[in-house]
């Protein structure tokens, strides 16, 4: 199965924002967000489709608006 482009774009945006906000480690960020590191990895690679609740949780952990995670989606 081909990974949808919007999942890849979302994962790339999450990775970029995570790193820009000083979270070099997926593990440390996942702990901060209350999620599993493997789940963060799967989202960043476009292999998981996060729910709205998870998007809001990620945004709060990054101290950004949920829409900031979606800005690269067409």
Sign of CA dihedral 74, 66, 16, 31: negative
- Inter-helix orientation angle 26-33/37-44, to 10°: 110
Instruction: For the domain covering 5-67, report its CATH number.
Output: 1.10.260.40
pLDDT per residue as tens, the chain (74 positions)? 799 999 999 999 999 999 999 999 999 999 999 999 999 999 999 999 999 999 999 999 999 999 999 998 77
Cβ contact 45:11 at 8 Å: yes
- Inter-helix orientation angle 37-44/5-20, to 10°: 120
Residue-level pLDDT at 70: 95
Residue-level pLDDT at 66: 97
Residue-level pLDDT at 1: 75
Residue-level pLDDT at 73: 77
């Amino acid at each position: 199965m081909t990974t949808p482009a919007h999942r890849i774009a979302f994962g790339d945006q999450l990775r970029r924002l995570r790193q820009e906000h000083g979270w070099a480690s997926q593990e440390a960020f996942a702990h901060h967000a209350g999620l599993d590191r493997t789940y963060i990895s799967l989202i960043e690679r476009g292999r998981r489709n996060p729910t709205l609740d998870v998007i809001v949780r990620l945004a709060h952990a990054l101290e950004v608006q949920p829409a900031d995670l979606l800005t690269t989606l067409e």
